[in-house]
Amino acid sequence: MSDLTVSLIQANLHWEDVAANLAMFDQKINSIQERTEVIILPEMFSTGFSMQSERLAQTMDGSAVQWMKQKAKEKNVIITGSLIIEEGGQYFNRLIWMLPNGTFGTYNKRHLFGFAGEHDHYTAGDKRLIAQVKGWKLNLSVCYDLRFPVWARNSILENGEPAYDVLINVANWPERRNTPWRALLQARAIENQCYVIGLNRVGNDGNDIYHSGDSSIIDPIGEIIYHKAHDEDVFTYTLSRSHLNELRARFPFLKDADRFIIP
Sheet holding 233-239, edge to edge: 104-108, 90-98, 78-87, 38-40, 4-10, 233-239
Residues assigned a catalytic role: 43, 109, 143
Q: Please state, in angstroms and rounded to a whole number, the distance separating the CA atoms of residues 43 and 20.
A: 16
| pLDDT tens column, 32-60 | 999 999 999 999 999 999 999 999 999 99
pTM for the full model?
A: 0.97
| pLDDT tens column, 171-214 | 999 999 999 999 999 999 999 999 999 999 999 999 999 999 99
The CA-atom distances, in angstroms, between 114 and each of 110, 119, 190, 251 are 12, 6, 27, 37
**Of the CATH numbers 3.60.110.10, 3.50.50.60, 3.40.50.1010, 3.40.50.1110, which one belongs to the domain with range 4-256?**
3.60.110.10
List the chain domain ranges. Answer: 4-256
The answer to whether residue 263 scores a pLDDT higher than 90 is no
In one-letter notation, the amino acid at residue 238 is: T
Q: Please state, in angstroms and rounded to a whole number, the distance separating the CA atoms of residues 21 and 129.
A: 25
Q: Please state, in angstroms and rounded to a whole number, the distance separating the CA atoms of residues 109 and 116.
A: 15
| pLDDT tens column, 107-141 | 999 999 999 999 999 999 999 999 999 999 999 99
